[in-house]
Amino acid sequence: MKKSIFIYSIIFILATSCKKDFLDRKPDDQMTEAQVFGDYEKVNKMVTDLYSDLHSRARGLAFIQHFSISAITDECRGSTVENGQSRTFNTGGWNANDQPGTGYKWADIYSTIRIANMIISGVRKYSTPDNPLNKGDLDIRMGETFFMRAYYHYLAARLYGEIPYIDFLIDPNGDLGIKQETFHTIADKISADCDSAIALLPVNQTDPQFARTEKGTALALKAIVRWMAATPLYNGGVLPNDTRIGKASYASRDNKRWEAARDAAKAVLNLKSENGSPRYSLYTGYGPSDFVSGSNNKVYSRLYQLFYDFNSFKTEGIFMNMNDKWEAWQGDNYPPSEGGGSRQQPVQEQVDEYEYIAPDGYGYPVYDARAVADGYNDANPYESVKRDPRFYRDVIYHGSTFRNVVRNTFTGADKIGATNSTTTGYFLRKFYREDYRPGNGVSFQIHYPLIRLPEIMLIYAEALNETGGSSDEIFTMLNTIRQRSFMAPVPPSVKGDKDKTNEYIQRERRVEFFYENKRWYTARLYLEPSSTTQMAREQAWQAAGNDNDTRSQKFWPYPKCQRMVNGMKPIEDPNGKIVIGGKTYSMQRFYVAAWVFVAPTHYFFPIMQDELLKDPALQQAPGW
C-alpha cells in the first residue's frame, strides 16, 4: 500500500473518531506513518476508536437509527414516526439500493475492520514501543485489536451470511476482487483471531480499562460463532432457492459442529479469575422481597438492576456497549400518558412466550394443554396465573402498575390507537429507569449488553442436548438462569425428551434476551419462517376462521413465519376480572398487521449495490 494513502487514512481516523473521548486530539497533519506507530499513546487512541465504533456498528437500543431491530421481528412493532423506518422492513420496502438506518451496514463495518488491520500491520512494521508507564499494555491493546477484527467480521456475517474475511491491508488502488468465503471458513477465521486475542488478553481488565475486552470476551465470541455454525441455517437445514457459495457444506448436518459449540461454551463457563473463582457469574443482587417502587410489587429490583448495577456488568456482562443511549431514549418509548411516543410496542407473539408458574411449582407455556386446568384464562392472561417475573419487568399491559399508576389501554391517552399510543395493547418496559420522566431533569446513560453470560449458558445447554449430553447438566443450566429471575424450574417430566428440552431452551432464549437484538438472527438461524412446522401452523391459522381477528382468537400460539403480528385489547365486560377505575374488563386477542417475509430473500440483508460495483467478485445474498 502506498505510504501517502496509509498516512492519510490514519490522520483521518484520528481526527474524526470519538469526539467526546478525553484522548481525542487532532494530530499534526505532517505526521508520518512511522511517527504514528512509534508512539504508544497514538496507537492506544486508535484501539480506543475501535470501541467507539461499536455505537454505530453493533447498534444497541436503536439498531435501525431510531428503532430497535426488535421492531422488525415478532418481538415488537414500531410506530410511524421517523418516516416509519422499521415498517419499511415490515412491508418489504427495502432493497440493495435503499435501506433505512446508517452505521451498521457493509461499508461501515469494513471501514472499522480496516482500522484494525492498520493497527496490527503498523505495530508489527514499526515495532511500536510499550507503554512506558505500564509494561505489557501494548500486548493487551494488540489482543483487543485481534478481538475487534473478529467481532466486526461477526457483525457482518450475522447480517450477510457469507462475507470476505479481510485480515490484511487492502490497497484501494489495487485489485479489489475479494471473494466471499463459506460461513464455516468465516467461523474458523473468527476463532483464529479470537485465539490470538486470548493469548494476549488478561482474564480481568483493571478498573481504568473497565469494559474493554478480556480473555472471556474472546472465548465467548468463539462460542457464539461455533453455535451459529451448528444451527440449521449452516448445518443441515434447507434454505429455499439457495444460491450461497457454501450451500454444499450446509446441506448435511455434522454433529462435530455442535461439539465445537459445546466445547467453546464450556471454556467460557470454566474460566477462572486469578483468585480461582469463576470469572463470570449471574447477577443475584437484591432478594425476593425487593421490588421496584411504584410497580405494585410486580417488578423485582434484581431484574431491573440487572441493566443498571455495575456489579452486574462486572460479573455477568461479558461484553458491554457502554453509554449506548441517553435517557431521552426512554421518552421516545414511554406511554403517551407519561409524555412518551410509544416507539416500540411488544406484540402478542412475544407475550405468549412468557410461561406461567403452575400449582405443581414448575413453569409451563400458557399454550400448554394443561394451562387452562391450572387456572390460565386468556381473558385475564396476566393475573389469572403468575407469569414469568421477566414479563412484568419487560412489558406494560392493561392493568399493570407503572410509576404508581394503573395503566389503561381502553381509554385515555394510552388507548390503543390513540395519538402516539400502542397499536398492540402493550408498551415497552425493559431497560426503563422508572425515576425518569421527560423533562424532570434526571440525566443518565443506558449501558447495553452485547454478550451476557446466559447466552453462553444456553449455547452450552443446547449443544449438550444436541450431542447426547447429560440431562442433569442441561437442567442445571436452564434452572440456574430461571432461578436468578425468580422463575419456576423446568418440569422434571421434560428431562430426557430432546424435543421438549429444545423447546424450553429456545423459549428461555427468547424471554431472557427480549429486546437485546437476538431474535432477528435466531429466527433465521433456525430457518423458522420457512420450516415445515411453522408453514403448517400458518396454514392451520388461515383455516381457523373467516377473518383475521377470529383467527387471532382461535389459533395460537402463532406461527413463527414473520408474516404477521397480533395484539391484546381490553373490552368492557361485567364479568371481567380486570378492574380499573371502577370498570371491569376482559382481554381479547386481535390481529394487528400483515408483514412481508419472503424466503430466501429476507434471511439476509442485501449487500448494497454500490458495494457490488466496487468489488465485482462479490455475490449478492440469495433472493436479492
Summarize pLDDT for 491-514 with one digit per residue, the tens: 999 999 999 999 999 999 999 999
- Residue 48 covered by a domain: yes
Same domain, 219 and 351: no
| Contact present, 129 and 110 (Cβ < 8 Å) | no
What's the pTM value of the predicted model, to 2 decimals? 0.95
Has residue 516 been placed in a domain? no
Same domain, 313 and 383: yes
Total tally of structural domains belonging to the chain: 2
Same domain, 212 and 344: no
Same domain, 239 and 311: no
pLDDT at residue 273, as a whole number: 96
Structural domain contains residue 13: yes
User: For position 234, which CATH number holds?
Assistant: 1.25.40.390
Is 603 among the domain residues?
Answer: no
Please report whether residue 90 resides in a domain.
yes
> Does residue 23 surpass a pLDDT of 60?
no
Q: Where residue 29 falls among pLDDT bands split at 50, 70, 90?
A: low
SS (H, E, C) 116-150: HHHHHHHHHHHCCCCCCCCCCHHHHHHHHHHHHHH
What's the mean pLDDT in 419-433?
97
Based on the fold, state whether residues 97 and 192 are members of the same structural domain: yes
pLDDT tens string 327-360: 999 999 999 999 999 999 999 999 999 999 999 9
Give me the DSSP letters along 255-275: HHHHHHHHHHHHHHHH-B-TT
Could you report the per-residue pLDDT of 126-175, keeping only the tens digit for each?
A: 999 999 999 999 999 999 999 999 999 999 999 999 999 999 998 877 77
3-state SS, residue 357: strand
Map grid coordinates 509494561 to a residue.
135
Give the domain extent around 346.
301-450
Whether pLDDT at 28 is above 60: no
Of 450, 484, 501, the residue at which a domain comes to its end is: 450
CA distance 344 to 70: 8
Residues 199, 339: one domain?
no
User: Do residue 238 and residue 321 come from a single domain?
Assistant: no
Of 196, 225, 254, which residue constitutes the final position of a domain? Answer: 254
Please report which confidence band the pLDDT of residue 19 belongs to, taking 50, 70 and 90 as the band edges. very low
Residue 15: pLDDT above 80?
no
What's 613's DSSP letter?
H
Domain membership of residue 480 (yes or no) is no
Is 514 within a domain? no
Answer yes or no: is 52 within a domain. Answer: yes
Position 216 scores a pLDDT of 98
What percent of the chain is predicted at pLDDT more than 90? 91
Q: Are residues 93 and 179 in the same domain?
A: yes
- Residue 97 is predicted with a pLDDT of 96
Res 8 pLDDT > 50 = no
Mean pLDDT of the chain: 94
577 pLDDT higher than 90: yes
What is the pLDDT, as a whole number, of residue 440?
83
247 with 316, same domain: the answer is no
Asked whether residue 81 falls in the same domain as residue 222, the answer is yes
% of residues, the chain, pLDDT over 70: 95
Please give the pLDDT value at position 17. 37
The answer to whether 67 touches 344, Cβ cutoff 8 Å, is yes
**Section 569-581 average pLDDT:** 98
Express each pLDDT in 168-212 by its tens digit.
Answer: 998 877 777 899 999 999 999 999 999 999 999 999 998 889 999
Q: Which of 233-247, 347-361, 424-438 has the lowest mean pLDDT?
A: 424-438
Which pLDDT belongs to residue 550?
98
Residue position matching grid coordinates 489482543: 143
Peptide bond into 557 cis (omega under 30): yes
Of 229, 254, 279, the residue at which a domain comes to its end is 254
pLDDT tens, position by position, 277-325:
999 999 999 999 999 999 999 999 999 999 999 999 999 999 999 999 9
Regarding whether 27 and 145 lie in a shared domain, the answer is yes
The torsion angles phi and psi of 137, rounded to 5 degrees, stand at -65, -35
What pLDDT sits at residue 396? 98
To the nearest 10 degrees (0 to 180), the angle between helices 3-16 and 106-126 is 120
75 and 152 assigned to the same domain = yes
